[in-house]
């Protein structure tokens, strides 16, 4: 799918706003085998109706004007064009599961929706609500990557939640200041409603560039530092360009375009932190090492030879840190290629291997480099973009995303949120994605994979807890129970 001008949206011009080059790159990455759609799942502990969800989406989600626009490809660039035939009923839909439906049936539904491109000709996002799932409901959100990256969209989705339940028996009322009266303290992203100043973003970008130039002119030492950063970027480009393609395994191969998803039992965030403190590692180190261990177990069970096998994961890195954003949406992240020592069987040895790799990346400019690369390909013709993305996607076997979520329990209307999961899309030849999201003291792993690569991702997810427990056991026994 490549969006084209359509009835209901005027031709580029007038009130249309150009997409950033990076956002346009993700718009043009859309493939039938890899839809560029971020998928999120929210499982509620009490029923929620479509009508209540529709009101919440209308009050909070569409307060960001970008979600009322459709991306339209012009002659030389793409535009955000306001959609004058917007109807929220086209975007908040009901879905049903056969009774009695459990996790496996919900996984199948999420996989089916994740395989489908969003309908062209209108804003590229959609919510499906399963009103009866267990004792509550489930919400599946699909939003095209060109609107924002996963980091921003998780925050947007949190804006749909509340810190305490709405009062039973009445509908939440919106106050004049834009807050939800029944919710009281709405989730932290409440300010999104007022943060869609397109002109302010354009002027702000120019102002920051001018200020940077003045600063460098008045501070030669800063100019020398900037020159050093450019030198580092050039060096990093050479390094990434010379990376060998990832070795052929079951994670590499032709893509069918049919996605499967799965999630397993969550891990205790406090246990993960404790293991990290005891071993002198970060939470990220522990989680990535756990993923590497599970991948090794899975591939070995599929008949793969593990001896000396190292795979790479493309890991998104947020580039917003410490920066004021006039527009909270958009794509502002880079990628780093993290080496996963899946062939290392000893949990401690594997963990320290991951820690070393992560420390090396922390001192590199790889995330900035890949962000700049995406900005470059966003201004190139689509065939050239295909070549570049295929070259870089060949250097990794999966995408792995790790986001820190809310520490406190959240609600949607009156319903407590039991689980939050998300999956970012893959591009080029990559067909497997793993997400890690912390919420209310737990860390949830989710896997999405092309059916041609991993027919049953539950087999991989089931090994994640096992890999973590091996590391815990090793620490409890003083590192003497498990031999390399």
- Nearest CA to 79 among 139, 125, 14? 14
Q: How many CA atoms lie within 13 A of 157 on its CB side?
A: 27
The set of residues, in sequence order, having a beta carbon less than 8 Å from that of 198 and lying 6+ positions away, is: 17, 65, 327
Number of independent structural domains in the chain = 1
Sign of CA dihedral 251, 252, 254, 257: positive
Instruction: Give 341's DSSP letter.
Output: -
CATH number for the domain including 34?
3.30.559.10
- Nearest CA to 185 among 167, 204, 164, 201? 164
Torsion region of 382: left, alpha or beta (phi above 0 gives left; psi -120 to 50 gives alpha): alpha
Residue 306 is assigned to a structural domain of this protein: no
Residue 102 is assigned to a structural domain of this protein: yes
Q: Is the pTM of this model over 0.85?
A: no
Give the domain range for residue 183.
17-192
Residue 470 is assigned to a structural domain of this protein: no
One digit per residue, the tens of pLDDT, for the chain of length 484 reads: 444 433 334 444 447 889 999 999 999 888 889 899 999 999 999 999 999 999 999 999 998 999 999 999 887 789 999 999 999 999 999 999 988 889 999 999 999 999 999 998 899 999 999 999 999 999 999 999 999 998 888 888 889 999 988 765 444 443 333 333 333 334 333 333 332 332 233 233 333 433 333 343 444 443 344 344 444 445 545 556 667 899 999 999 999 999 999 999 999 999 999 999 999 999 999 999 999 999 999 999 999 999 989 999 999 988 886 555 556 789 998 889 999 999 999 999 999 999 999 998 887 788 888 888 888 878 877 777 777 778 878 889 999 999 888 999 999 999 999 999 999 888 888 999 999 999 999 999 999 999 999 999 999 999 999 999 999 998 888 764 444 4
């Amino acid at each position: 799918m490549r969006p084209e001008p359509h009835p209901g949206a005027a031709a580029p011009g007038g009130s249309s706003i150009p997409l950033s080059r990076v956002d346009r790159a993700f718009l043009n990455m859309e493939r039938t085998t890899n839809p560029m759609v971020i998928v999120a799942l929210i499982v509620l502990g009490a029923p929620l109706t479509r009508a209540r969800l529709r009101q919440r989406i209308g009050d909070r989600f569409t307060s960001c004007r970008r979600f009322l626009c459709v991306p339209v490809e012009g002659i030389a660039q793409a535009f955000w064009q306001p959609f004058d035939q917007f109807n929220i009923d086209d975007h908040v839909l009901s879905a049903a599961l056969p009774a009695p439906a459990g996790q496996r049936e919900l996984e199948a539904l999420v996989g089916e929706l994740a395989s489908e491109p969003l309908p062209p000709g209108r804003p590229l996002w959609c919510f499906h609500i399963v009103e009866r799932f267990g004792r509550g409901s489930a919400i599946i959100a699909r939003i095209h990557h060109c609107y924002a990256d996963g980091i921003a969209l998780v925050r947007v989705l949190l804006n749909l939640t509340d810190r305490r339940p709405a009062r039973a028996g009445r509908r939440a009322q919106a106050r004049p200041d834009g807050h939800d009266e029944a919710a009281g303290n709405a989730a932290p992203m409440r300010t999104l409603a007022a943060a869609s100043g397109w002109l302010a973003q354009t002027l702000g970008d120019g102002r920051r560039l001018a200020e940077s130039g003045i600063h460098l002119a008045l501070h030669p030492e800063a100019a020398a530092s900037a020159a050093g950063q450019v030198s580092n970027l050039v060096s990093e480009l050479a390094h990434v360009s010379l990376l060998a393609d990832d070795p052929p395994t079951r994670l590499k191969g032709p893509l069918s375009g049919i996605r499967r998803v799965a999630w397993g039992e969550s891990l205790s965030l406090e246990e993960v932190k404790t293991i990290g403190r005891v071993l002198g590692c970060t939470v990220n180190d522990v989680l990535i090492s756990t993923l590497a261990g599970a991948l090794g177990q899975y591939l070995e069970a599929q008949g793969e030879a593990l001896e000396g096998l190292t795979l790479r994961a493309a890991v998104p890195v947020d580039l917003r840190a410490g920066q004021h954003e006039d527009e909270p949406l958009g794509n502002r992240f880079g990628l780093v290629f993290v080496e996963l020592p899946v062939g290392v069987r000893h949990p401690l040895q594997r963990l320290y291997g991951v820690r070393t790799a992560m420390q090396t990346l922390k001192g590199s400019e790889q995330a900035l480099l890949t962000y700049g690369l995406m900005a470059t390909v966003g201004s190139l013709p689509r065939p050239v973009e295909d070549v570049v993305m295929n070259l870089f996607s060949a250097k990794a076997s999966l995408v792995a995303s790790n986001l820190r979520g809310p520490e406190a329990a959240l609600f949607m209307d009156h319903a407590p949120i039991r689980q939050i999961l998300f999956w970012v899309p893959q591009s080029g030849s990559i067909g497997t994605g793993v997400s890690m999201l912390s919420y209310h003291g737990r860390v949830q792993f989710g896997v999405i994979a092309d059916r041609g690569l991993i027919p049953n991702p539950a087999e991989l997810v089931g090994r994640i807890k096992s890999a973590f427990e091996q590391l815990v056991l090793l620490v409890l026994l003083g590192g003497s129970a498990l031999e390399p």
